[in-house]
Amino acid sequence: MTDTNNNLLEMRGVTKRFPGVVANNNIDLDVRYGEVHTLLGENGAGKSTLVKILFGLYQADEGEILLRGNPIDIDSPSAAIDSRVGMIHQHFMLVPTLTVCENVALGVPSDRRPFTDLENVATRISDISNEHGLAVDPWVKVEHLSVGERQRVEIIKALYRDAELLVLDEPTAVLTPKEVEDLFVILRRMADSGKGLIFISHKLREVMSLSDRITVLRDGEVVGETTPSETNRQELAQMMVGRDVRLTPDLPESKLGAKRLELSDLTVIGDNETVAVNKVSFDIHAGEILGIAGVSGNGQRELAEAIAGLREIEPGSSIELDNSDVTLCSTHERREKGLGFIPEERIPDGAIPDFTVSENLVLVNHGDENFTKRGLFSFDSIRSHNVELVSDFDVKTPSIETPTSSLSGGNIQKVILARELSAKPTFLLACQPTRGVDIGAAEYIHNRLIEQRDIGTATLLISEDLDEVIGLSDRIAVMYEGEIISIVSGEDAERNKIGLLMAGVTD
């Protein structure tokens, strides 16, 4: 039995129902002073719902919350803040056009009412920064801060409000490996000073390195509680998914074929009119996966769009598919030359949410003579083609006439994958193919990509998930500030070294 006096937080029998689903079913969770307690689970397992209840954004249907041993009713974020509960949201809750000071002061009564008291706020921010190692300039506008700095502002906001229990909802999703390391040092220090931390994640490696205790959720229920010393990544994955999964796919020996893609001095201007991709050159052969590792925003998106023909490229650059120059070709023409494309944003770039599964499956090739005869759709052949694809690619959908928007992320991704692979591409451009997808679907998608490689497709894989890149790639190119600063073979890839390269450290 746990000693009640040591518990900062206890949630007992918390149940939350939404129309048609039980998001949290009779959940117990306790957090001790001075510990990092991880909530681990797939998307939709109920982690976010649980902490939203804790933060007053939702009300539980059943169950009670005890804070410092006393039952408490948290009916709004301000009630949570008043009870010294702080939350670092997955999407930063910052106002970009305001300064750090203003963001921190927001919602806190000022001593100089009705005026703000930013000088004092800045002084306290500096104190907090020094105490916890959270360096940030109070007078700078948040829009000018890096992602890592913004996260520090979020933590300062919570500490400024004297938070004792801190909830961190997937805080590492947008950070570089180096930033994650720095963050963990700060979090550990906070825990050591007696605060309680709830850490939400689905990244097993991070969970293992930071947690004191781990509670695993699946389908709205607690399926187990453990500690890093009693378990391993494989076991955690199994608990999350509820069956045996292979975290790293086996990569059979590759049989390199002809050159399929060649980029020469590819230069692309980004949205804010600065150079996003700077003189990038590489090639990919049949039967090979080249993975691009890099922190989001280093030119990967622009690179992908340029290859797909969605973004203009600068003079002097060239793109060749199967040894023919496609620099001036439209996306349609590139597709005819063998391009398959899984875009970064499933919705709306990869599939149209209001269209049915069937419509999205023929989005690209509905004009083929199999499907369109004398300008009219031949619904029978479209239907039989699509029914086959849905079963081939294990898409879980009530019917092929279901609106795509009602499918889960993983199934939408399978629809896109089915459409692209059924066109038998010779070159596949796969951007973030498993982002936000549950482990089971990710495993399936990985196997499909490897299968494709083995039958001779050349693949460019762009992903922010370093484990995915290392696990799937024959060669790994690290992209930093628009340039490929290093290409290493997959076998030689060392996680730490690539992590450093992603932060721009080349020696």
Partner 1 sequence: MGDFFTTSVLVATAASAVRLATPYLLAALGETIGQRSGVLNLGVDGVMMLSAFFAYWTVLETGNMWLGVLVALLVGLMMGVLYGVITVFFEATQGISGIGIFIFGLGFSDLLFRQQVGTPKPIRRLPNIDIPLLSDIPYIGEPLFQRNLMTYAAFALVPVTMIVLNKTTFGLNIRSVGENPQAADSLGVSVERTRFSAIMIGNAFAGLAGAALVLQLGIFQPHLTQGMGFIAVALVYFGAWKPLGVMGGALLFGLVNAVVLQWKALGIIPVSISDLAGMAPAVVTIIALVLLARRVNAPAALTKPFVRS
The DSSP annotation for 444-500 comes to: HHHHHHHHHHHTT-EEEEEES-HHHHHHH-SEEEEEETTEEEEEEEGGG--HHHHHH
Instruction: In angstroms, give the least distance from the CB of 270 to partner 1.
Output: 15
Instruction: In angstroms, give the least distance from the CB of 337 to partner 1.
Output: 39
Instruction: In angstroms, give the least distance from the CB of 397 to partner 1.
Output: 25
**Residue pair 411/403 in contact by the 8 Å Cβ criterion:** no
| DSSP, res 403 | B
Q: For partner 1, which is the closer residue by CB, 103 or 215?
A: 103
Tokens matching residue 38: 């991880």
Q: For partner 1, which is the closer residue by CB, 56 or 287?
A: 56
Tokens matching residue 189: 């220090």
Residue 51, Cα to own-chain centre: how many angstroms?
Answer: 19
**Residue pair 40/48 in contact by the 8 Å Cβ criterion:** no
Site residues for partner 1 per CB under 8 A: 55, 57, 76-78, 81, 87, 89, 91-98, 102-103, 105-110, 113-116, 157
**Residue pair 114/123 in contact by the 8 Å Cβ criterion:** no
Grouping H, G, I as helix, E, B as strand and the rest as coil, residue 297 is coil
Q: For partner 1, which is the closer residue by CB, 50 or 295?
A: 50
Distance CA 283, CA 290 (A): 9
Q: For partner 1, which is the closer residue by CB, 121 or 479?
A: 121
Q: For partner 1, which is the closer residue by CB, 108 or 186?
A: 108
Q: For partner 1, which is the closer residue by CB, 92 or 199?
A: 92
Q: For partner 1, which is the closer residue by CB, 149 or 464?
A: 149
Q: Please choose, from the candidates 164, 161, 144, the residue with its C-alpha nearest in 3D space to the C-alpha of residue 32.
A: 164
* Bond prior to 19 in cis (omega within 30° of 0): no
Instruction: In angstroms, give the least distance from the CB of 332 to partner 1.
Output: 34
Distance CA 87, CA 81 (A): 9
Grouping H, G, I as helix, E, B as strand and the rest as coil, residue 259 is strand
Distance CA 164, CA 8 (A): 9
The DSSP annotation for 235-253 comes to: HHHHHHHSS---SS---PP
Q: For partner 1, which is the closer residue by CB, 158 or 207?
A: 158
Instruction: In angstroms, give the least distance from the CB of 114 to partner 1.
Output: 5
Residue 71, Cα to own-chain centre: how many angstroms?
Answer: 35
Place of tokens 């990710």: 442
Instruction: In angstroms, give the least distance from the CB of 103 to partner 1.
Output: 8
Instruction: In angstroms, give the least distance from the CB of 148 to partner 1.
Output: 18
Instruction: In angstroms, give the least distance from the CB of 77 to partner 1.
Output: 5
Tokens matching residue 31: 């957090």
Q: For partner 1, which is the closer residue by CB, 157 or 448?
A: 157
Instruction: In angstroms, give the least distance from the CB of 102 to partner 1.
Output: 6
Instruction: In angstroms, give the least distance from the CB of 84 to partner 1.
Output: 13
Q: For partner 1, which is the closer residue by CB, 93 or 173?
A: 93
| DSSP, res 33 | T
